[in-house]
């Protein structure tokens, strides 16, 4: 990710998601190589409208966690991701911080190319 040749990248949860033990109900993210440090727009690809209602959109890159809570839609966020190999994941949390089911794919687009 992060090059002009692969921008944007669609990360499919069911096809590409990593399951630690192979039989886990949900993936723990995607093993990715980010070619260049930069600002990335993370967009949730879901058929439902994602109203906030106190929920947060969360992204994790190699242990660094970013959260977005918005009064309106929580369909996307922009964050800086550093170059390197690792695990990338995106999920939603309810108002109390509990993770919600990861039943969506994610579109990742570098915005500063």
Q: Going from the N-terminus, what domains does the chain have, and what CATH number goes with each? A: 4-110 (2.60.120)
Rounded to the nearest 5 degrees, what angle is found at the Cα of 40, between the Cα atoms of 36 and 41? 160
- Contact call for residues 51 and 91 (beta carbons, < 8 A): no
pLDDT at position 5: 85
pLDDT tens by residue, 74-108:
788 999 999 999 999 998 898 899 988 888 889 99
pLDDT digit string (tens) for 8-56?
Answer: 998 887 666 555 555 656 667 888 999 999 999 999 887 565 666 778 8
For residue 70, pLDDT over 80 is answered with no
């Amino acid at each position: 990710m992060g090059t002009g040749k692969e921008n944007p990248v669609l990360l499919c949860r069911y096809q590409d998601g990593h399951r630690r033990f192979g039989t886990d109900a949900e993936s723990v993210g995607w093993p990715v190589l980010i070619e260049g440090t930069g600002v990335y727009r993370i967009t949730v690809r879901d058929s439902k409208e994602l109203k906030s209602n106190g929920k947060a959109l969360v992204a994790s890159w190699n242990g660094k966690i970013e959260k977005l809570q918005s009064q309106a839609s929580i369909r996307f966020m922009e964050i800086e991701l550093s170059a390197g190999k690792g695990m990338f994941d995106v999920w939603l949390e309810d108002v109390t911080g509990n993770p919600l089911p990861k039943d969506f794919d994610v579109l990742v687009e570098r915005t500063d190319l």
